[in-house]
Amino acid sequence: MIPVQPEVGVAFWMLAFVIIMSGAMVVSLRNIFHCALCLIICLSAVAGIFILLEAEFLAAAQVLIYVGAVSILIIFAVMLTSNLAVQKIVQTNENALVAFVICLVFMGGTCALVDATHVWRYTAEALPANNTLEIGRQLMTDYMLPFEVVSILLIAALIGAIMLAREEKT
């Protein structure tokens, strides 16, 4: 185990608490606008976890993409849909309890198994100081192929999204 500085540990537990509470609120609150706001809190706290892991680039990308773009888009969609922001919605159905138990079992099992493993390849000490540079270098050299294929993926997603969202003239 890598020794963890106590203040990092405290920060981690605070962020984890925020993530779990806001995540639970996203899937349980009755007003969809409040859910969207909780989602922003949840995603920002995840960015905090990335900073604790010294993955600054991921943290910035998380804030820019998920907090900045995706959540704002969700809020726009909620506000532009008439009456959605004031409606009371029920997010659960009769399977909620079963689903909750399955989630708890999965989470507990995962935590137990991860905790029982001591052979992780810790590379924290070998992390490059400037990991944005390193990510860029890797993307343009070793991981060039998946990087290029992702651009095909984006074309497919764009065309599909425009096709689906377009209003049909009959």
Partner 1 sequence: MTTAAPIIDLNLMIPEIFLFLWACLVFTYDLVTKRKSGNAVAWLALAGPVLTGILTVVMFSAGFYGYGKAAGAMFEVDPMAVFFKIIFLGAAFFAIGSSFGLLKNRIVNHRGEFFGLILLSTVGMLFLAASREMISLYVGLELTTIPLFVLAAFFKDDRLSVEAGIKYLIIGALSSALLLYGMSFLYGLGGTTDIWQWKLEVARIAGKGEGVGVILTLSVITILAGLGFKLALPPFHQWAPDVYQGAPTPVAAFLSVGSKAAGLVAFAKLMIGGMVAFWDPVMIPNDWGILTAILAASAMIVGNVVAVRQSNIKRMMAYSSIAQAGYIMVGMVALNDFCLSSVAFYMFAYMFANMGAFAVIALIEDATGSCEISTYAGLSRTSPALAVTMTVFLLSLTGIPPLAGFMAKYYVFAAAIQSAGASPTFGFLYWLVGVGLVTSVVALYYYANIIKQMYFHDRPSTSPITFDAPMVMVLAVALCGVVVFGLFPEPVLQFARQIPPPYELFQH
Q: Can residue 114 be called a binding residue for partner 1 (CB under 8 A)?
A: yes
- # chain residues binding partner 1, by CB under 8 A: 34
* Interface residue with partner 1, options 120, 124, 125, 129 (CB under 8 A): 120
Q: Do 48 and 15 contact (CB within 8 A), yes or no? A: yes
CA torsion through residues 64, 65, 67, 69, sign: positive
CA distance 86 to 31: 7
In the chain, the N- to C-terminal Cα span, in Å, equals 65
Any residues with CB less than 8 A from the CB of 104 and at least 6 apart, and which?
none
Q: Can residue 157 be called a binding residue for partner 1 (CB under 8 A)?
A: yes
Provide, rounded to whole angstroms, the least separation between the CB of residue 130 and partner 1. 10
Provide, rounded to whole angstroms, the least separation between the CB of residue 122 and partner 1. 9
In the region spanning residues 51 to 110, those forming contacts with partner 1, defined by CB under 8 A, are 109-110
Residue 30 or 137: the one with the smaller Cβ distance to partner 1 is 137
Q: Can residue 9 be called a binding residue for partner 1 (CB under 8 A)?
A: no
* φ and ψ at residue 150, rounded to 5 degrees: -60, -30
Q: What is the per-residue DSSP string for 111-145?
A: HHHHHT-------GGG--S-HHHHHHHHHHTTTHH
Nearest CA-CA partner of 54 in 2, 101, 118, 91: 2
* φ and ψ at residue 90, rounded to 5 degrees: -105, 120
Provide, rounded to whole angstroms, the least separation between the CB of residue 78 and partner 1. 17
* Interface residue with partner 1, options 80, 90, 116, 129 (CB under 8 A): 116
* Interface residue with partner 1, options 6, 121, 125, 129 (CB under 8 A): 121
In the region spanning residues 134 to 153, those forming contacts with partner 1, defined by CB under 8 A, are 137, 140-146, 149-150, 152-153
Binding site for partner 1 (CB under 8 A): 109-110, 113-114, 116-121, 123, 133, 137, 140-146, 149-150, 152-153, 155-157, 159-161, 163-164, 168-169
